[in-house]
């Protein structure tokens, strides 16, 4: 079933209606999908996102992100923007097309196997940007900088491209994905470590806002280079990384960095428990790995040119979107982190022709606009106006979509006082509330 995205206007303002949202259900599997093993195609998250019309595959590893998915991603992007700017990050946008000469200069052009390469009409070679260290350093090299200009923190939120050998699990490992990547520049190691610590704290705050348990572990630098890195993981059975937790001190680390089954923190032996994780963020101290070949320098107090010390920090936003669903959901129902649910509140009016319908018509607009005055759910309310369907069926579908709060205008709206049936989906609570109590409940739920 296909529906078009449109906002319907009432006399007193905009009411967003579910029947007008483009949300293709019952997706027919693509031929390329049917040839693969089920476990290679679907994770819990990709199965639910495909079935419920949040994403639609275009080709292996490439997905259409549909209106409900876009709403969730935009909320996630706003959180990332607020966090990065709160620590002095300045937003930029680097080109997606990167001259291959830059990657040749850094030495990475033959080290990274996942590059998409192409040529323009003049036979000049380019790379579709998988990450932008080279571009950031080239930018810094194009002008002179005093030691007084630092620290400098630049970040962007853009699509990245990687030619994955085996794209799988929907948005968790795809060829095109949205990423927040940040590049910091400092005058020496000590200052760079201060910036590294500040950004790391901001990452922890970012994940705490989402309300998802995460594990920060020491990571390997790999082809990025540098001498220090940390990974951020959500626990999930489908995760491609193996983490180990020390049962003695509860420290997590990547299994790649553990030798002889010894905890790197408390040094206890044979206390390590393995689990799977999805990497959703990564931080690196790069030193002058990139600044040196690009002459990204600053002038110190004595007038000498010195290589800048660089760090980079990444958050895979579309991966976080999918990994959040993977972590929180059941096999049959999506559960979103409350701050990024496509809509916070779903209102279900009675079925057309029911005894409750005339009463509901007078209540619905008042309820909608009263909710819209609550800061946390303003412009985040959706009405399931498909009144040809029963309340029960729409309620089941609403819970499957994972809207945090569902308000049903059922048979108790005929009572005095009028009572609304509230479903706190994430909390697993159902309660009948009077009008003012309903507004108070939802307002307080977002202040907890």
CA gyration radius for the chain? 25
Q: Is the pLDDT of residue 348 over 50?
A: yes
**343-445: CATH superfamily:** Anticodon-binding domain (3.40.50.800)
Residue 398 vs residue 222, higher pLDDT: 398
Mean pLDDT over all residues of the chain?
A: 92
What does the alpha-carbon distance between residue 373 and residue 363 come to, in Å, rounded to a whole number?
16
Split at pLDDT 50, 70, 90, the class of 26 is: low
What does the alpha-carbon distance between residue 241 and residue 255 come to, in Å, rounded to a whole number?
8
- The β-bridge relationship of strands 62-65 and 55-59 is antiparallel
- The β-bridge relationship of strands 345-348 and 405-408 is parallel
Architecture of the domain delimited by 70-242+275-328 = 2-Layer Sandwich (3.30)
Q: For the segment 293-305, what is each residue's pLDDT rounded down to a tens digit?
A: 999 999 999 999 9
Q: For the segment 261-284, what is each residue's pLDDT rounded down to a tens digit?
A: 888 889 888 889 999 999 999 999
Q: Is the pLDDT of residue 9 over 60?
A: no
428: Cβ contacts below 8 Å, ≥ 6 apart: none
pLDDT for 13 equals 52
C-beta separation of 204 from 280 below 8 A: no
Residue 2 vs residue 55, higher pLDDT: 55
Average pLDDT over residues 24-52: 68
pLDDT for 221 equals 72
Q: Indicate the pTM of the whole model.
A: 0.93
Q: How many CA atoms lie within 13 A of 103 on its CB side?
A: 23
Q: For the segment 142-187, what is each residue's pLDDT rounded down to a tens digit?
A: 999 999 999 999 999 999 999 999 999 999 999 999 999 999 999 9
What are the extents of the domains in the chain? Answer: 70-242+275-328, 343-445
Can you tell me which residue has the tokens 């400098």? 152
The answer to whether domain 70-242+275-328 and domain 343-445 are alike in fold is no
- The β-bridge relationship of strands 228-235 and 125-128 is unpaired
- Ramachandran area for residue 107 (φ above 0: left; ψ -120 to 50: alpha; else beta): left
Bond prior to 348 in cis (omega within 30° of 0): no
**Could you tell me the sign of the dihedral formed by the alpha carbons of 74, 77, 81, 82, in that order?**
positive
Split at pLDDT 50, 70, 90, the class of 41 is: low
What does the alpha-carbon distance between residue 16 and residue 7 come to, in Å, rounded to a whole number?
5
pLDDT for 1 equals 36
Distance of alpha carbon 337 from the chain centroid: 10
For the chain, what is the HEC assignment? Answer: CCCCCCCEEECCEEECEHHHCCCCCCCCCCHHHHCCCHHHHCCHHHHHHHHCCCEEEEECCEEEECHHHHHHHHHHHHHHHHHHHHCCCEECCCCCEEEHHHHHHHCCCCCCCCCEEEECCCCCEEEECCCCHHHHHHHHHCCCCEHHHCCEEEEEEEEEECCCCCCECHHHECCEEEEEEEEEEECCHHHHHHHHHHHHHHHHHHHHHHCCCCEEEECCCHHHCCCEEEEEEEECCCCCEEEEEECCCCCEEEHHHCCCCECCCCCCECCEEEEEEEEEEEEEEEECCCHHHHCCEEECCCCCEEECEEEEEEEEHHHHHHHHHHHHCCCCCCCCCHHHCCCCEEEECCCCCCCCHHHHHHHHHHHHHHHCCCHHHCCCEEECCCCCCCHHHHHHHHHHHCCCEEEECCHHHHCCCCCEEEEECCCCEEEEECHHHHHHHHHHHCCC
Q: For the segment 110-139, what is each residue's pLDDT rounded down to a tens digit?
A: 999 999 999 999 999 999 999 999 999 999
């Amino acid at each position: 079933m296909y529906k078009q995205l449109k906002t319907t206007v009432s006399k007193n303002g905009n009411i967003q209606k579910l029947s007008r949202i483009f949300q293709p259900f019952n997706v027919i599997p693509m031929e390329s999908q049917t040839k693969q093993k089920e476990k290679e195609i679907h994770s819990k998250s990709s199965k639910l996102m495909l079935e419920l019309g949040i994403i639609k595959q275009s080709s292996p590893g490439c997905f259409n992100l549909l209106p409900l998915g876009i709403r969730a991603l935009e909320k996630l992007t706003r959180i990332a923007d607020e966090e990065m700017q709160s620590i002095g990050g300045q937003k930029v946008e680097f080109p997606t097309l990167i001259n291959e000469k830059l990657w040749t200069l850094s030495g990475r052009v033959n080290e990274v196997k996942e590059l998409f390469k192409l040529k323009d009409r003049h036979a000049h070679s380019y790379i579709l940007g998988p990450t932008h260290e080279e571009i950031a350093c080239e930018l810094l090299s194009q002008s002179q900088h005093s030691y007084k200009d630092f620290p400098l923190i630049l970040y962007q939120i853009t699509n990245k491209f990687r030619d994955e050998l085996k794209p799988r699990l929907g948005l968790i490992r795809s060829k095109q994905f949205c990423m927040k990547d940040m590049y910091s520049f400092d005058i020496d190691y000590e200052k760079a470590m201060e910036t590294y610590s500040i950004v790391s704290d901001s990452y922890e705050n970012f994940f705490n806002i989402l309300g998802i348990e995460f594990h920060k572990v020491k990571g390997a630098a790999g082809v990025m280079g540098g001498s220090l890195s940390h990974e951020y993981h959500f626990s999930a059975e489908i995760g491609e990384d193996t983490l180990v937790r020390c049962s003695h001190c509860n420290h997590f680390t990547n299994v790649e960095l553990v030798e002889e089954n010894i905890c790197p923190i408390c040094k206890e032996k044979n206390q390590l428990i393995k689990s799977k994780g999805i990497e959703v963020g990564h931080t690196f101290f790069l030193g002058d790995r990139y600044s040196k070949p690009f002459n990204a320098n600053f002038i110190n107090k004595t007038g000498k040119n010195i290589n800048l010390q660089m760090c980079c920090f990444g958050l895979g936003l579309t991966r976080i979107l999918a990994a959040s669903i993977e972590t929180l959901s059941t096999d049959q129902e999506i559960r979103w982190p409350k701050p990024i649910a496509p809509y916070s509140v779903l209102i279900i009016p009675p079925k057309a022709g029911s005894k409750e319908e005339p009463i509901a018509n007078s209540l619905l607009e008042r309820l909608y606009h009263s909710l819209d005055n609550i800061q946390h759910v303003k412009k985040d309310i959706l009405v399931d106006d498909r009144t040809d369907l029963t309340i029960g069926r729409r309620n089941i579908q609403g819970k499957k979509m994972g809207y945090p709060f569902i308000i049903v205008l059922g048979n108790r709206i005929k009572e005095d006082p009028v009572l609304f049936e509230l479903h706190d989906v994430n909390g697993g609570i159902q309660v009948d509330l009077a009008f003012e109590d309903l507004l108070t409940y939802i307002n307080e739920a977002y202040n907890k």
